[in-house]
Amino acid sequence: MTHCPCCSRKLFSECCDPIISDQSAPTALALMRSRYSAYSIGSAEYLVATTHSRTRSQYQVDDIRQWSESNHWTKLEIISVEHGRVMDSRGVVEFKAHFRDAKGIEQVHHERSVFLKEGTQWFYLEGKINPQAVDLTKKISRNDPCLCGSGKKYKKCCA
């Protein structure tokens, strides 16, 4: 038995494998972790299937498979999680995916991802690469842009 690639310290068979097999994550964070594991094991079909229908056409199974298999995935670091619980319909997870590329060079993919839930299924919608740090001491107004990067006003998004 092997530990899960998502760095949860659980066995793969008890962590991300059931989520990848059933394509059903209970939270946005669980979907994020399972998607990292899917990159680690080369499960490109799962990655496309768990991408929201609004953005799914931007991704090709063969391209994802080639990229995931050409890298050696070494660590997932969760930076922050906003919403995305079982009863939520939207969640944001900021993470750093550490890997060695095809040339053996250490790389870090830093992203702030937005997830949407439709019915009981969570989907990856989009992500912002290398997001800017958010000043958590600044008061957010209802009419400010939402911190999740959706482009909507805060009051219409994560408020």
**pLDDT of the chain, 159 residues: tens digit per residue:** 599 999 999 999 999 999 999 989 999 999 999 999 999 999 999 999 999 999 999 999 999 999 999 999 999 999 999 999 999 999 999 999 999 999 999 999 999 999 999 999 999 999 999 887 655 556 677 777 776 666 777 778 776
Residue 68 falls within a domain, yes or no? yes
Q: Cα-atom radius of gyration of the chain, to the nearest Å?
A: 16
79, part of any domain = yes
Residue 150 belongs to a domain: no
- Per the structure, how many domains does the chain have? 1
Which CATH number does the domain housing residue 61 bear? 3.10.450.50
User: pLDDT at position 147, please?
Assistant: 63
| 72-83: strand order across its sheet | 72-83, 90-100, 106-118, 121-129
Which residues lie below 8 Å from residue 85, measured CB to CB, with a gap of 6+? 27, 28, 91
Residue 157 domain-assigned? no
Whether 148 maps to a domain, the answer reads no
Indicate the pTM of the whole model.
0.82
Would you say residue 153 lies in a domain?
Answer: no
- Number of C-alpha atoms within 13 angstroms, CB side, residue 87? 0
pLDDT of residue 68: 92
Please tell me the predicted confidence (pLDDT) of residue 58.
93
Domain extent, residue 88, equals: 12-132
Residues of the chain by 3-state class (helix, strand, coil), percent to 5: 30, 30, 40
